[in-house]
A and B are shown apart, each in its own frame.
Chain A
């Protein structure tokens, strides 16, 4: 029975990370209709930034996380300004290719500075909590709590602040938002910044129980895409629910079926679902 609860904790941990990454992806998609293939690279840069701040500059974990979030947020804004903004009237295939260009660039850049080795990043939360035989490492608890806090904060921001309201308005109708005088550029930059910060925080939370390396974003971004397709592209609750579905499917699938194939589960699920429902699980009507 304990093993079963252990898997629940694992599922929650994975689901939290996936959810955070997918959240950024779905926000950008909702507002700009760009499937940002570079989002995984932003996640990866986030992990390396925290690593750099902590190991090379000796900064505390929390500070490193904040610094990394800031750097990646700026990076996200730069991508929007320099790449996606000039491409806003181009055929849809162009911004996908441009996003791939950004991804390749960032990966090569990180690889040039840090090499392609696998690195470990420590965090101050190395303890283990034992609830009557149910073992939960502190870092995992931190991930789950952190993710829930962030999602809550984001909801507050989107619902209660003026800026948040403009983001929602623009996600619902780009032209409509333009008509009522919303500064589309500002919203786009803001969205990219939030999306980048979320990716960096997710990476910093997850890195201590995982490894840091230039290709670490590949799997995560692909799973994040699976998640937002499951949850409906552009939908915030969909991203969180989808993240949990994939997190749990992997935790339980990896444990009860096969560890070697656990990464395939998400993609198998996607193929299955899109074969039956091309518009995704929760999306209403045609996309």
Chain B
């Protein structure tokens, strides 16, 4: 029975069902605040998908991810608030900025292996925070940036309203997931996974390490920039705290809980934890008393999170139900996503 529900969840129909649910959410929600919370969860989910590309697929723990989120937010914020740009051009500039900076940081940092890369990006994240906090002429320092433009709807919709903005974010989220799914199934995604399995092996398979790692890194920072820009357009007021390392740690938690290296994981983890934190208000400040040990337990016992655990379980069910000698022809038995993930 459970297995049937499980396989249903992985069918395209279930995905459209989820999408329909997301579209209907503003009508199901009991108040506007819930829509707002969901929109912000989606914004974070987009950033977590970015982290999933470089860390989940490519296996490089990037601790500057929150920094790039902040760069996206600040690029949009400063261009619209201080330089009179309107939203969409500034939005595009935010994407280009995070991609370009991602390229520069990537070229330097990705020559470093494993621990060195993690430590280096930790420092890069901190440099970003310090620059935002101290470079007052550019960023207003600790005061932050006010009066950030909201996206304009070309006279059709008003994105300063919560519900239209929710749909805007949902559209970008769907786009982000769609690309992620396509990437993971493609030869390019498989290349990233080969790098995660090990640099030496990947190189011996003729894979250009630097080119592929930098590409994965730029993709991930662009996702972070996209999320950051949407965030700035949503809250309209940002400060140096957006670059705080705790955001990166939050995103790692979302990714780990949902399932690192999977397609649905980042969404499940982010939306799940954001709502749990919301509904248990007392958790807000001390949430890490629970999430800290949770991270430890996850990496020890369930390193692939909810989704990964579920997929393994599904796979074994499918294998068990299939007579052994037929396994070769059993294309349909492997759950859709299990194949997509590889």
B256 within 8 A of A: yes
Residue among B120, B124, B292, B294 having the largest count of chain A Cβ atoms under 10 Å: B292
Given contacts A105-B293, A108-B286, A108-B288, contact A98 B119 (CB under 8 A): no
Please encode chain A, from 78 to 116, with 1 for each CB lying within 8 Å of some chain B CB and 0 for all others. Answer: 000011001100111111111011111111110110000
List chain B residues, Cβ under 8 A from A261.
130, 134
Please encode chain A, from 205 to 239, with 1 for each CB lying within 8 Å of some chain B CB and 0 for all others. Answer: 00000000000001100100110010001000000
B188 within 8 A of A: no
The residue of chain B having its C-beta at the shortest distance from the C-beta of A99 within the complex is: B296
Q: Are B249 and A100 neighbours in the complex by a CB distance under 8 Å?
A: yes
Given contacts A107-B288, A218-B245, A267-B126, contact A97 B119 (CB under 8 A): no
List chain A residues, Cβ under 8 A from B130.
261, 263-264, 267
Given contacts A225-B122, A226-B123, A264-B130, contact A101 B115 (CB under 8 A): no
CA distance A158 to B82 in the complex (A): 59
B289 within 8 A of A: yes
CB distance from A172 to the nearest CB of B (A): 19
CA distance A105 to B286 in the complex (A): 9
CA distance A275 to B109 in the complex (A): 8
Q: Are A108 and B292 neighbours in the complex by a CB distance under 8 Å?
A: yes
List chain B residues, Cβ under 8 A from A160.
none
The residue of chain A having its C-beta at the shortest distance from the C-beta of B250 within the complex is: A104
The residue of chain A having its C-beta at the shortest distance from the C-beta of B111 within the complex is: A278
B contact face: mostly helix, strand, loop, or mixed: helix
Residue among A87, A93, A226 having the largest count of chain B Cβ atoms under 10 Å: A93
CA distance A92 to B118 in the complex (A): 11
A260 within 8 A of B: yes
Q: Are B134 and A104 neighbours in the complex by a CB distance under 8 Å?
A: no
List chain B residues, Cβ under 8 A from A111.
285-286
A contact face: mostly helix, strand, loop, or mixed: helix
The residue of chain A having its C-beta at the shortest distance from the C-beta of B115 within the complex is: A35
List chain B residues, Cβ under 8 A from A101.
291-296, 299
CA distance A35 to B117 in the complex (A): 11
CA distance A50 to B32 in the complex (A): 48
CA distance A87 to B289 in the complex (A): 21
List chain B residues, Cβ under 8 A from A264.
127, 130-131, 134
List chain B residues, Cβ under 8 A from A96.
61, 115, 118
Q: Give the contacts of B266-299 with A (CB-CB under 8 A).
A: 285-289, 291-296, 299
CB distance from A263 to the nearest CB of B (A): 6
Q: Are B299 and A105 neighbours in the complex by a CB distance under 8 Å?
A: no
CB distance from B296 to the nearest CB of A (A): 4
Q: Give the contacts of B207-260 with A (CB-CB under 8 A).
A: 245, 249, 252, 256
List chain B residues, Cβ under 8 A from A275.
108
List chain B residues, Cβ under 8 A from A107.
288
Please encode chain A, from 130 to 171, with 1 for each CB lying within 8 Å of some chain B CB and 0 for all others. Answer: 000000000000000000000000000000000000000000
The residue of chain B having its C-beta at the shortest distance from the C-beta of A95 within the complex is: B299
Please encode chain B, from 100 to 136, with 1 for each CB lying within 8 Å of some chain A CB and 0 for all others. Answer: 0000000011011111101110111011001100100
Q: Are A100 and B113 neighbours in the complex by a CB distance under 8 Å?
A: no
CA distance A103 to B127 in the complex (A): 20
Q: Are B124 and A102 neighbours in the complex by a CB distance under 8 Å?
A: no
A176 within 8 A of B: no
B300 within 8 A of A: yes
The residue of chain A having its C-beta at the shortest distance from the C-beta of B287 within the complex is: A108
Find B252's partner among A86, A97, A287 (CB 8 Å cutoff). Answer: A97
A270 within 8 A of B: yes
CB distance from B223 to the nearest CB of A (A): 19
List chain A residues, Cβ under 8 A from B144.
none
A75 within 8 A of B: no
Q: Are A97 and B112 neighbours in the complex by a CB distance under 8 Å?
A: no
Q: Are A103 and B292 neighbours in the complex by a CB distance under 8 Å?
A: yes
Q: Give the contacts of B16-52 with A (CB-CB under 8 A).
A: none
A182 within 8 A of B: no
CB distance from B179 to the nearest CB of A (A): 24
Q: Are B289 and A92 neighbours in the complex by a CB distance under 8 Å?
A: no
Please encode chain A, from 257 to 287, with 1 for each CB lying within 8 Å of some chain B CB and 0 for all others. Answer: 0001101100110110011001000000001
B59 within 8 A of A: yes
List chain A residues, Cβ under 8 A from B335.
none
Find A287's partner among B59, B116, B292, B296 (CB 8 Å cutoff). Answer: B116
Residue among A35, A219, A233 having the largest count of chain B Cβ atoms under 10 Å: A35
The residue of chain A having its C-beta at the shortest distance from the C-beta of B248 within the complex is: A100
CA distance A92 to B286 in the complex (A): 28
Q: Are B291 and A104 neighbours in the complex by a CB distance under 8 Å?
A: yes
Q: Are B286 and A100 neighbours in the complex by a CB distance under 8 Å?
A: no
Q: Give the contacts of A50-97 with B (CB-CB under 8 A).
A: 82-83, 86-87, 90-97
Q: Are B127 and A267 neighbours in the complex by a CB distance under 8 Å?
A: yes
CB distance from A218 to the nearest CB of B (A): 7
CA distance A98 to B303 in the complex (A): 11
30 CB contacts below 8 A, A to B, read: A33-B115, A35-B118, A82-B296, A87-B300, A91-B59, A93-B55, A93-B114, A98-B299, A98-B300, A101-B294, A101-B295, A102-B296, A103-B249, A104-B249, A104-B292, A105-B288, A106-B292, A108-B286, A111-B285, A218-B245, A222-B122, A233-B115, A261-B130, A267-B123, A267-B124, A267-B127, A267-B130, A270-B120, A270-B123, A274-B120
